[in-house]
Structure 1
Amino acid sequence: MLTVVTSNNTAIFRELKSPSFQQLDLRQEIVTTGVEALERIRALRPDLAVLDVDLPEVSGAEVCRRVKADPDLASTRIILVVTGSVARGDVDRLADSGCDDILTIPTPAEDLYSHAARLLDLPKRQRSRVRAQVLMPAGSRTPVLRGEATHIALDAVELAIEQAVEVGTEVKLRLGRTGSGQAVLVKGTVVACADSAGALTKTLRVKLSGLRPDDERALADLALWEVVERRDGLLVMLRGDIVETTDFDSLLAQLRTLDITFDMGGVRYLNSTGIRRWVDFLEQIDPEATYRFVRCSVAFVTQLGLVSRARGRGEVVSFMAPYYCEMCDRESEQLLQTRALAIGAGGVPEPPAFDCSQCGGPLEFDELPERFFAFMRPAT
């Protein structure tokens, strides 16, 4: 069971009711003052405390300072929550309390879960999978092979499947998202088959042929985005490559709400033509709609720094940032909140400090701050 002590804050309650948290065996204890927070933390020894900075009686920062100074409680993970943006002096003051993280609210549930997952080694938030059936030619010993699509493009599909298929074999693929009764049927030729790790022991690459316009639209839906309806609007999770062949028309038709959150964490690559298509797509969204970007990938952030119009009217709420551990020669990415960054000399944000999850050594920011944070300049 995961025990969490939280402030009496409706924004935190809302995020803890998200599907990512609800998949856990979660026990939530609510406190209204700093004194009560200290009492409950001492009594319950929770895994995590999510506390407002401005708690009455004893501030959240002081609660954190006392907890971290107690050898019996010091391992308690604490996230301090601030309403609105954080000034440079506030970041330094809160960091001195020994807190494990600082978040601004309101914050998307995706962000709160990602920060909690990093601190507590929770399962990563899962996107729905694309199930795959490989329909073999007539006379094959195994007429249908099952697996998952690991990468989908309009010219080829990569699959993790249960056994090898000879290169040159002509097959049909039935692809559909887990939990959905809809599927697309396409045909192609096996061009590569290699060993892979895990229960699905082969990686198969199939070059597609004879696609109809309806097939292309269905593949785009599977390959590039997933739209999830939520009580507060739509969550649109994008993934893969945004290039010259990317067509956002079918996605635009699904945006029938005035509140949209774009999760850009799965975007791997964007070229110049793809960025133009993305900008055109944003310009076609209902002018009355409000949208924002969360968990922006390093690839997307890099493009935002070059093309400010790539965020349209939207706010970049959070993004992944590159770090490097010199001690174990390991690259990693950390989720940062735009409003929680301290601004240093020359108006350039200062990358937060993190420790390596493998060796415990300090992580180094693996980019030039003035270049990586260029996207935070006002849009023009």
Structure 2
Amino acid sequence: MTASEHQFQARREMRGGDTVIFLEGVINERTELNGIFRDIDTGTLIINLKGVTRINSCGVRDWVNAVKPLAGKFKIIYEHCSRAIVEQLNMIVNFLNSGTIVSFYAPYYCDACEAEHEMLLDIAQHFPDAADTDEPEAPDFDCPQCGKTMEFNEDEDKYLSFLTE
């Protein structure tokens, strides 16, 4: 891992009247999360987790403690959840506390050209009935490199289990 993959960064911007916080890097015991969520005066808080590369056990504890006080203050939307975040969603009860996940990344593999890709899955589009099923199915995607159909590159039941909770 490079130094840039270890370094945690957060930036904030407005999207319409909503506050969007972009998180990148490793969330661990050295990550200061509480300050990130201060001074937000919007009805909707969007947290973009695309850049989170890893989160350790201390980071999980600090994350849960940082998002817990947000419940009830804002409508919280989690978008672009990275694979590192999806792993935590599937292991830690109440990892996101309250809030709605709208999209996440999932691993795919192309047998034809042996390429690996992370595809963004939109829950409303790709899993409209997720709450009504015990076994959501990953959608098919064509490989961006060769155009052939790719395979989901994880245990589908385990990786998508957070959708049914």
Contact 2:71/2:97 (CA < 8 Å) preserved in 1? no
For 1:352, give the aligned amino acid.
Answer: P
Computing the radius of gyration from Cα coordinates, the structure with the larger value is 1
For 1:266, give the aligned amino acid.
Answer: G
Alpha-carbon shift at residue 271 of structure 1 (Å): 0.8
Alpha-carbon shift at residue 232 of structure 1 (Å): 2.3
For 1:367, give the aligned amino acid.
Answer: E
Contact 1:308/1:375 (CA < 8 Å) preserved in 2? no
For 2:73, give the aligned amino acid.
Answer: E
Partners of 1:300 and 1:260 in 2: CA distance? 18
Are 1:235 and 2:16 matched, yes or no? no
Please name the residue that 2:70 is paired with.
285
Any idea what the Cα deviations from partners look like across 1:324-354, whole Å, max 9, x if unmatched? Answer: 001111100111111232669x621111111
State the identity %: 30
Contact 2:134/2:164 (CA < 8 Å) preserved in 1? no
Contact 1:235/1:262 (CA < 8 Å) preserved in 2? yes
For the structure 1 residues 377 and 347, does the alpha-carbon distance in structure 2 shift closer, same or farther, using more than 3 Å as the test? closer
For the structure 1 residues 298 and 327, does the alpha-carbon distance in structure 2 shift closer, same or farther, using more than 3 Å as the test? same
Contact 1:342/1:350 (CA < 8 Å) preserved in 2? no
Alpha-carbon shift at residue 286 of structure 1 (Å): 5.9
Any idea what the Cα deviations from partners look like across 1:268-290, whole Å, max 9, x if unmatched? Answer: 00111101110100112262311
Alpha-carbon shift at residue 361 of structure 1 (Å): 1.3
Are 1:358 and 2:151 matched, yes or no? no
Matched position secondary structure for 1:257: coil
Are 1:377 and 2:144 matched, yes or no? no
Please name the residue that 1:160 is paired with.
none
> Aligned match of 1:323 in 88, 97, 108?
108
Partners of 2:108 and 2:152 in 1: CA distance? 5
Alpha-carbon shift at residue 309 of structure 1 (Å): 1.2
Partners of 1:259 and 1:153 in 2: CA distance? 29
Contact 2:46/2:77 (CA < 8 Å) preserved in 1? yes
Q: Pairwise mapping of residues 36-47 of structure 1 onto structure 2 (< 5 A)?
A: none
Please name the residue that 2:42 is paired with.
257
Any idea what the Cα deviations from partners look like across 1:154-211, whole Å, max 9, x if unmatched? Answer: 7xxxxxxxxxxxxxxxxxxxxxxxxxxxxxxxxxxxxxxxxxxxxxxxxxxxxxxxxx
Alpha-carbon shift at residue 253 of structure 1 (Å): 1.6
Q: Report how many aligned residue pairs link the two structures.
A: 160
Alpha-carbon shift at residue 152 of structure 1 (Å): 7.1
After TM superposition, what 4+ stretches of structure 1 lie above 6 angstroms from structure 2? none
**Unaligned stretches of 5+ in structure 1?**
1-149, 155-222
Contact 1:342/1:349 (CA < 8 Å) preserved in 2? no
**Unaligned stretches of 5+ in structure 2?**
none
